[in-house]
Amino acid sequence: MAQPRQTPAPPVPRWLLWAASVVILAHLLAVGAHALAAQSGPWPTPFGISNAEPPKAAELADKHAAKPYLSALRMPQDYHFASNQPVFPGITFEVRLKDERGEVLKTLKFPDEKANGWVRHRQALLARNLGNDQPVAPRQGGVVLPAPGQELPKHLIWDPLDPNQPPRPGQMLKLVERDDNELISIQMKQPMGSVYRPSEWELLVARAIARRMCREHGAAKAQVIRHAQNPITPAALILPDPNMAYAPELLSDFGDFPR
Amino acid sequence: MSKPRGNLSKSEAVRDRLPPAGQPAAPDAPPPAFHEGPLTRLGQAWSRFWFRPADPVGLHAVRMLAGTLFLCWLLAYAGHVQELFGLNGWFDAEAYAEAHRLAAQERAAGESAVPQAGWSLLFAVGHSPAALTAVYWLSVVVVALFTLGLWARLTGVLTWLVVGSFTVNPALGSDADALLIVLAFYLMVGYLFLGQWRRGRRLPYRIFGSTEALLLGRRDDGAGPPPSMAANAALRLLQVHFAIILVTTGLHKLQFGEWWGGLALWFPLYPPLETTLEQAREHAGNASLFLALLSIATYAVLAWEIGFPAFAWRRGWWRLVLIGGALIGWLGASLLYRVPGFGPALLIGCLSYLTDDEWRAVTGLLPRLPGLSALARWLPAVPDEEPVKVGSR
């Protein structure tokens, strides 16, 4: 019969088991509280589609204890995985590297078809950061006059498409700056909620991409262009006109970023 | 303990290797504490679940599998280390600084949409390509040593630091990263405490660990490794955390109409920018049947994830649901969602639910496979007088 080769361990004292139990319980409560403390939705509400706040108890526990603790352990995830969201536009990007005069030296596309699957996946995740446009809140009221000696604040928006024309394949959106009055005028011509702006995060990532490409290839500036397409919906199987379920690829020009 | 060996059942034989009844190390003995008080039964169940000393073979097996995954994950980025992890890469030092400012602004406004970076060892070397490359290859060595089980106490901590450091980039965060860090963390906890309660161990053993965790646990005297409370507690933590992850992600899916409508799997099947309208309409002739099958598959995913805690700890045929579901999940994550690493991490998480007996059965089979007989001396003792009843409770 096989025998244990080591001296049996001494009995574990009760206080240690209690302490371990408290640590285990606190740790798992932190994991649970952090998962619960994520916003849910978007849900339909009387005021439109909106995210719902988390339970207050979970939110407080998360803010004051769970999140700092789990962040220190590098486990700040709330397990609301991005891939859970089924309808997400496909996004890739291209970078046009330019010299001082604006001549295109090279065009690179990402995700890189030649990279291995793991690297391509990371590049796809990077591209996904460029697909977080935000709807511009509707401006109310009439013409706004600037304060004496000042200009109206400018807003960076995607120059909207003509609402009377269907989007064309390869159509390029441009980033434009518009003041409050121009924005009101644009929003009056567009269907509700169809004027979008890039999020601050998108712009941050676009600038970072441009810097990296310029550094690596010695270019003076880089133009970042997003390729995006909404997914074809299952309605394509049953609609008499399947084109109704199909949206063409749309290009969005973030502009030239210097080195 | 006085029965002749030939009459022993599988579980009795395994018990024979454990300390005598009454000692805290006996797996089926009353738990070491919580005998009294008004919540006795709950306390005993709690104690049995968390503190029953277990054969560390399960911890070793999960370590080997997870370590192999960490190695594949790290090595896949060889040649792309600067762009993915360097402070001159896709997300450079300036971007980190901007993100920090943006997060501060959002916090002041009561929002939190900007992903935040945590700590990373790579921040110390990210500016220098040579230093970053050196740290990367050092990390590969550390993870390889941990996978093999060498000085697992030290290499476990270092592996957790490596996994945490290489998953820090907020613009490149993958769903799989969350599972990798969970695996690394609980393995580290397990090896930090494994064997610490034993008498007569020297300081280097207590700090660095030893080679006794090599592969699936050394077997140089014919006996298996002593049972360990730490091995059990670490695997239990991993199991419970994993169940929380799967239920949370299952419930999160229910926040989207496409999952309720049974159509969620359509979208990864026909990804935008790659699918033509003609391809998407390939099943237009039998649309009802196709959509019905799709909805069954979608609901199977939801049922598996949300119902996970109901079957994960059950034995017998439920193991097919557990492991089969994980294997299908691997296929789905790799082929449909194209998230490398997620599927293997999911499978390893599910394998962590196997009991000592089940792991012994699996490891007992390994040397019988062609070409693997040399493994026998590295595996824990397996009584071979009776076939293992994996399905018995």
Q: Are residues A212 and A242 in the same domain?
A: yes
User: Residue B5: its pLDDT value, please?
Assistant: 41
Is B199's CB within 8 Å of A211's CB? no
Quick check: is A239 in a domain? yes
Nearest by CB to residue B248, choosing from A24, A79, A124, is A79
The nearest CA of chain A is from the CA of B365 a distance in Å of 20
d(CA A256, CA B13): 73
What number of other Cβ atoms are within 10 A of residue B2's Cβ? 4
Q: Are residues A224 and A126 in the same domain?
A: yes
For A14-49, give one letter per residue: b (16+ CB within 10 A) or e. eeebeebbeebeebeebbbbbbbbbbbeeeeeeeee
Burial (0-12, 13-18, 19+ Cβ within 10 Å), A148: exposed
* Residue A17 C-beta-side C-alpha neighbours within 13 Å: 21
Work out the pLDDT band at B21, boundaries 50, 70, 90.
Answer: very low
Chain B residues within 8 A of A117 when measuring between CB atoms: 76, 338, 340
Q: Are residues A203 and A234 in the same domain?
A: yes
Q: Are residues A65 and A173 in the same domain?
A: no
Contacts A–B by Cβ distance under 8 A: 254
User: Residue B375: its pLDDT value, please?
Assistant: 63
**Which residue in chain A has the smallest CA separation from B274?**
A90
In this structure, what token pair is assigned to residue B274? 């790659």
Residue B1 has pLDDT above 50, yes or no: no
Rounded to an integer, the average pLDDT of B21-36 is: 48
Query: How many structural domains are present in chain A?
Result: 2
Nearest by CB to residue A79, choosing from B114, B178, B381, is B178
The nearest CA of chain A is from the CA of B47 a distance in Å of 8
Is A79's CB within 8 Å of B258's CB? no
Is A28's CB within 8 Å of B233's CB? no
Nearest by CB to residue B244, choosing from A18, A32, A72, is A32
**Which residue in chain A has the smallest CA separation from B193?**
A20
Of residues B27 and A115, more confidently modeled? A115
Residue B193, amino acid: F
User: Residue A62: its pLDDT value, please?
Assistant: 95
Chain A residues within 8 A of B51 when measuring between CB atoms: 12, 17, 20
User: Residue B16: its pLDDT value, please?
Assistant: 41
If you average pLDDT over every residue of chain B, what do you get? 85
User: Residue B18: its pLDDT value, please?
Assistant: 42
The ipTM assigned to this model is 0.90
What number of other Cβ atoms are within 10 A of residue B268's Cβ? 18
- Cα Dmax for chain A: 96
Q: Are residues A108 and A220 in the same domain?
A: yes
Residues B103-132: tens digit of each pLDDT: 888 888 777 777 777 899 999 999 999 999
Rounded to an integer, the average pLDDT of B271-286 is: 94
Helix (H, G, I), strand (E, B) or coil at A151: coil
Is B233's CB within 8 Å of A24's CB? yes
Is B273's CB within 8 Å of A229's CB? yes
**Which residue in chain B has the smallest CA separation from A115?**
B80
Domain boundary among A55, A80, A105: A80
Which residues form the domain of A105?
89-142+152-258
Quick check: is A224 in a domain? yes
The beta-carbon contacts of B324-328 under 8 Å, at least 24 apart in sequence, are B325/B350, B326/B350, B326/B351
β-pairing, A250-258 vs A154-158, is unpaired
User: Which residues between 124 and 143 in chain A have a beta carbon less than 8 angstroms from any beta carbon of chain B?
Assistant: 124-126, 129
Nearest by CB to residue B24, choosing from A11, A117, A205, is A11
The residues pairing with A172 across neighbouring beta strands, listed in sequence order, are A251
User: Residue A184: its pLDDT value, please?
Assistant: 83
- The secondary element (H helix, E strand) that includes residue B27 is none
Is A125's CB within 8 Å of B83's CB? no
User: Residue A141: its pLDDT value, please?
Assistant: 67
Work out the pLDDT band at A6, boundaries 50, 70, 90.
Answer: low
Q: Are residues A158 and A206 in the same domain?
A: yes
Helix (H, G, I), strand (E, B) or coil at B376: helix
Residue B380 has pLDDT above 80, yes or no: no
Quick check: is A252 in a domain? yes
Q: Where are the beta strands (DSSP E) in chain A?
A: 40-45, 48-52, 90-98, 104-110, 134-135, 154-158, 171-179, 196-197, 221-229, 250-258
The nearest CA of chain A is from the CA of B372 a distance in Å of 23
Work out the pLDDT band at A44, boundaries 50, 70, 90.
Answer: confident
Helix (H, G, I), strand (E, B) or coil at A69: helix
Quick check: is A6 in a domain? no
d(CA A208, CA A227): 18
d(CA B302, CA B299): 5
User: Residue B384: its pLDDT value, please?
Assistant: 42
Chain A residues within 8 A of B275 when measuring between CB atoms: 232
Work out the pLDDT band at A37, boundaries 50, 70, 90.
Answer: very high
The answer to whether the beta carbons of residues B142 and B155 sit under 8 Å apart is yes
Is A75's CB within 8 Å of B91's CB? no
Q: Are residues A48 and A131 in the same domain?
A: no
User: Residue B389: its pLDDT value, please?
Assistant: 40
Q: Are residues A76 and A95 in the same domain?
A: no
User: Residue B223: its pLDDT value, please?
Assistant: 62
d(CA B261, CA B256): 9
Of A200, A197, A109, A225, which Cα lies nearest the Cα of B95? A200
The answer to whether the beta carbons of residues B241 and B352 sit under 8 Å apart is no
**Which residue in chain B has the smallest CA separation from A23?**
B237
Residue B36 has pLDDT above 60, yes or no: yes
**Which residue in chain B has the smallest CA separation from A246?**
B277
**Which residue in chain B has the smallest CA separation from A28?**
B241
Residues B356-378: tens digit of each pLDDT: 889 988 888 877 877 777 666 66
Q: Are residues A74 and A95 in the same domain?
A: no
Domain boundary among A80, A103, A124: A80
d(CA B337, CA B335): 6
Of residues B183 and A5, more confidently modeled? B183
DSSP structure string for A196-209: EE--HHHHHHHHHH
Cα B373 to the chain's mean position, in Å?
A: 27
Residue B328 has pLDDT above 90, yes or no: yes
Residue B14 has pLDDT above 80, yes or no: no
User: Residue B80: its pLDDT value, please?
Assistant: 96
Q: Are residues A76 and A124 in the same domain?
A: no
Residue with tokens 């997914």: A231
The nearest CA of chain A is from the CA of B163 a distance in Å of 9
Is A17's CB within 8 Å of B34's CB? yes
Rounded to an integer, the average pLDDT of B331-348 is: 95
Residue B3 has pLDDT above 60, yes or no: no
Quick check: is A7 in a domain? no
For B140-177, give one letter per residue: b (16+ CB within 10 A) or e. bebbbbbbbbbbbbbbbbbbbbbbbbbbbbbbbbbbbb
Residue B2 has pLDDT above 50, yes or no: no
Residues B204-237: tens digit of each pLDDT: 888 877 777 777 886 555 566 788 999 999 999 9
**Which residue in chain A has the smallest CA separation from B85?**
A122
Is B338's CB within 8 Å of A121's CB? yes
Q: Are residues A158 and A248 in the same domain?
A: yes
The answer to whether the beta carbons of residues A220 and A140 sit under 8 Å apart is no
User: Residue B20: its pLDDT value, please?
Assistant: 40
Rounded to an integer, the average pLDDT of B19-42 is: 55
Chain B residues within 8 A of A210 when measuring between CB atoms: none
Report the residue of A60, A77, A123, A202 to disrupt the B interface, i.e. the one with the largest count of B CBs within 10 Å.
A77
Work out the pLDDT band at A3, boundaries 50, 70, 90.
Answer: very low
Is B118's CB within 8 Å of A71's CB? yes
| Pick from A92-96, A139-143, B12-16, B260-264: least confident | B12-16
Rounded to an integer, the average pLDDT of B304-330 is: 97
**Which residue in chain B has the smallest CA separation from A77?**
B178
Domain boundary among A80, A98, A126: A80
| Pick from A49-53, A97-101, A138-142: least confident | A138-142
Question: Is A67 part of the contact surface with chain B (CB cutoff 8 Å)?
Answer: no
Rounded to an integer, the average pLDDT of A175-182 is: 86
Quick check: is A232 in a domain? yes
The nearest CA of chain A is from the CA of B83 a distance in Å of 8
Degrees to nearest 5, angle at CA B146 with A118 and B226: 135
**Which residue in chain A has the smallest CA separation from B97?**
A204
The answer to whether the beta carbons of residues B306 and B143 sit under 8 Å apart is no
Is B255's CB within 8 Å of A1's CB? no
Q: Are residues A116 and A65 in the same domain?
A: no
Burial (0-12, 13-18, 19+ Cβ within 10 Å), B59: buried
Residue with tokens 């699936």: B216
Of A198, A204, A197, which Cα lies nearest the Cα of A183? A197
Taking the domains of chain B in order of start, what are their residue ranges? 52-253+307-366
User: Residue B65: its pLDDT value, please?
Assistant: 96
Chain A residues within 8 A of B119 when measuring between CB atoms: 72, 74
User: Residue A214: its pLDDT value, please?
Assistant: 96
Is A246's CB within 8 Å of B277's CB? yes
